[in-house]
Structure 1
């Protein structure tokens, strides 16, 4: 069976991705900061749970140690956890945005690499955003052109660049970044926009289930590769 870890998966796109991959036969671990919410989400669909706060090294290391003890390997990692970081821009908020959206990817990926190397088809999906695409935010016909969210956009640009650099440094593991589409989640509730999370999760699932010869080092949405 394919062993999969999804961060920030107690709700939204992460939760729907967990449910869809479970239906495909994956052994799915839901990672979440809050134990009560994470355990409740895992119980609701029959997945496994690990307490995982992407901003805390000890939490990340403990989560991967739990998976190693139970499974001895990891086949798929979905770095989904993220924050919008809206509000008045200042240093602490910037640190929070980058710590979660970019440094969090580094923490979890570095902890997961030894287990991913034990897989016959290791795959990493980084849930990024076209809000971090220079092409999208400078194109008047794109919705990102009208979005003003400096810290979210900048930290997601970092997430996409990390994807490319990991693809180059880890040629035996597929790394791809995803623009999941505008989705109605807690993060976007203030805007009142977006489609159902299960629709966006389909795009995550597509990249999480690539064949061994699938692409790596790309930035994609549900229709294929995007410029950025």
Structure 2
């Protein structure tokens, strides 16, 4: 039986998991459009079979329209949208400025929703398609130092669930991927909350210890290529689950929350860790 070749658009594909996805999905024979906010000289000239980089800023309606129109013109369809683009923000919730809060929601939530809304009509016309949201264990469990990032992932979880309960009517599948930490350079692009930059800073030591802790976790994290291969298997499987955890750690986190309905145990675990950071 011949495998069906799919046209796939990936957001945030210039680094990390998005970079791995673009390579692994194209190597499997799928036609991949790798969206990047700013194309490097190398990406513009890149010549890899089945892989094409395309300019895409998911916070810009004109950029989204241009990207989708180009793909539809070239391929006549979009089979799969992978909402991967996201930015990070570290520090307690009250340490972020209003602009930082707006920026992280603009990219992680509204950007993903905007491009999803633009792709859905094409999938409805096709009466087929798949929308994959890259969530995180941060979309299952928040933390003292990653609260706003978690808030955006919780929002993604809610949006995806709602879409999954309606879009099936047009044979459009929706799914959520929940990786744990991955061995990427995520920390290199993290913003720190700057609300207290001109005030007395109550979190200076805490924030630095949070960064050190996160770097340690990422260093021990799952290889993004491994996560990409799990996603490849998922999109090639018509009958796969709605929600996919990518390793044992993320499965443990998911099960822990199912077994702690009042949240008391999880809160106490976090408190005990955080006390040592002040």
- TM-score between the two structures when normalised by the length of structure 1: 0.84
Unaligned runs of 5+ in 2: 189-210, 258-278
Separation in structure 2 between the aligned mates of residue 51 and residue 38 of structure 1, nearest angstrom: 13
What's 1:182 paired with? 181
Structure 1 residue aligned with 2:37, among 33, 37, 60?
33
| 1:28-177 → structure 2 map (5 Å cutoff) | 28-36=32-40, 39=43, 43=46, 45-46=48-49, 47-86=51-90, 88-119=95-126, 121-133=128-140, 136-137=141-142, 148-171=145-168, 172-177=171-176
Contact 2:90 2:145 in 1 (8 A): no
The verdict on how the C-alpha distance between 1:160 and 1:7 changes in structure 2, with shifts beyond 3 A counting, is same
Counterpart in the other structure of 1:8: 12
Whole-Å Cα distance in 2 between the matches of residues 206 and 50 of structure 1?
A: 24
The corresponding residue for 2:192 is none
Which 4+ stretches in 1 moved above 6 angstroms? none
Alpha-carbon distance between aligned partners in 1 of 2:47 and 2:163, rounded to the nearest angstrom = 34
In the alignment, the residues of structure 2 paired with residue 198 and residue 45 of structure 1 have an alpha-carbon distance, to the nearest angstrom, of 17
Segments of 5+ residues of structure 1 without an aligned counterpart are 138-144
C-alpha distance in structure 2 between counterparts of 1:53 and 1:99, whole Å: 11
Q: 1:174 to 1:120 in 2, by over 3 A?
A: same
Q: Aligned pair in 2 of structure 1 residues 181, 45: CA closer, same or farther (>3 Å)?
A: farther
Three-state SS of the structure 2 residue aligned to 1:83 is coil
Task: Please give the root-mean-square deviation of Cα atoms over the aligned residues, in Å.
Answer: 2.3
Give the 3-state SS of the residue equivalent to 2:87 in structure 1: coil
In structure 1, which of residues 182, 203, 209 is the aligned counterpart of residue 230 of structure 2? 203
1:220 to 237, 244, 251: 244
- Do the aligned partners of 1:6 and 1:80 also contact (CA within 8 Å) in 2? yes
Deviates more, 1:26-35 or 1:89-98: 89-98
8 Å CA contact 1:33, 1:53 repeated in 2: yes
Structure 1 match to 2:270: none
SS of the residue corresponding to residue 179 of structure 2 reads coil
1:37 Cα offset (Å): 6.1
Distance 1:188 1:202 in 2: 23
Cα separation, 2, equivalents of 1:162 and 1:122: 17
**What is the CA distance between 1:89 and its match in structure 2?**
1.1
CA distance in 2, matches of 1:86, 1:38: 31
Match of 2:26 in 1: 22
Distance of 1:209 and 1:103 partners within structure 2: 28
Q: Distance in 1 between matches of 2:14 and 2:53?
A: 9
Structure 1 counterpart SS, 2:40:
helix
